């Protein structure tokens, strides 16, 4: 009792707050399947809360707010995303950072009404180094930094509103519209800044 994992396993509307700050080393994946929850990372003192070692994911969850958490998967375990959302709806991610994903840093699949705002998605583990695979979801991503990744910044299939973001130092591919998969995708890209860096292979192409 009192742990983040315990709090997420409970049911009913709840807000999770933190009395201490620090690193939570996950021994197994941590899943939110019971929604109606707010994780208020901004309540942690000092440098806040960082989760590492295994991935953090939402599967079949509704009405979830996650604020001010750091997600760092790393390579201690099998290849996986730092953060992954699947088959969920009404999800708000605010002021979080997603880095060191050994597959992708921040991905979503078959999710409705997902917002990612004022967040950082950078530095996927090389050589894979992927930002996010956003598949068959309805999403709004705004005021975020995507940087220092080779590809999928993000790769968007479905309905995507992508506004007021900064994409920095992509490798081969920046924003990828649809890719080679079947099906239609709809994207609204407005007011984004694409800033090439030393790793950028094709600096003149912002959307692939």
Give me the active site residues, please. 152
CA separation, residue 130 to residues 80, 103, 135, 153, 205 (Å): 11, 7, 14, 7, 18
> 55: which 2 tokens?
């991935």
The rounded distance, in Å, linking the Cα atoms of 155 and 1 is 39
The rounded distance, in Å, linking the Cα atoms of 64 and 105 is 19
Q: Which of 88, 83, 70 is nearest to 33 (CA)?
A: 88
**Other Cβ atoms within 10 Å of 182 Cβ, number:** 6
46 burial (CB, 10 Å; 0-12 / 13-18 / 19+) is exposed
């Amino acid at each position: 009792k009192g742990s983040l994992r315990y709090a997420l396993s409970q049911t009913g509307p709840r807000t999770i707050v933190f009395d201490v700050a620090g690193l939570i080393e996950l021994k197994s994946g941590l899943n939110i399947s019971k929604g109606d929850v707010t994780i208020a990372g901004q309540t942690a003192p000092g440098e806040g809360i960082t989760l590492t070692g295994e991935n953090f994911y939402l599967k079949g969850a509704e009405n979830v707010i996650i604020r001010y958490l750091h997600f760092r998967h790393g390579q201690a375990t099998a290849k996986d995303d730092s953060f992954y959302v699947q088959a969920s709806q009404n999800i708000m991610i605010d002021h979080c950072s997603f880095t060191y994903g050994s597959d992708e840093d921040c991905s979503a699949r078959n999710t409705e009404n997902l917002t990612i705002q004022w967040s950082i998605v950078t530095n996927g583990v090389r050589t894979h180094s992927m930002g996010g695979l956003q598949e068959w979801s309805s999403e709004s991503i705004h005021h975020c930094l995507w940087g220092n990744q080779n590809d999928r910044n993000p790769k968007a299939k479905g309905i995507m509103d992508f506004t007021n973001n900064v994409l920095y130092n992509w490798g081969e591919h920046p924003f990828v519209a649809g890719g080679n998969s079947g099906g239609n995708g709809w994207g609204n890209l407005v007011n984004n800044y694409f800033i090439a860096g030393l790793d950028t292979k094709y600096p003149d192409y912002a959307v692939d």
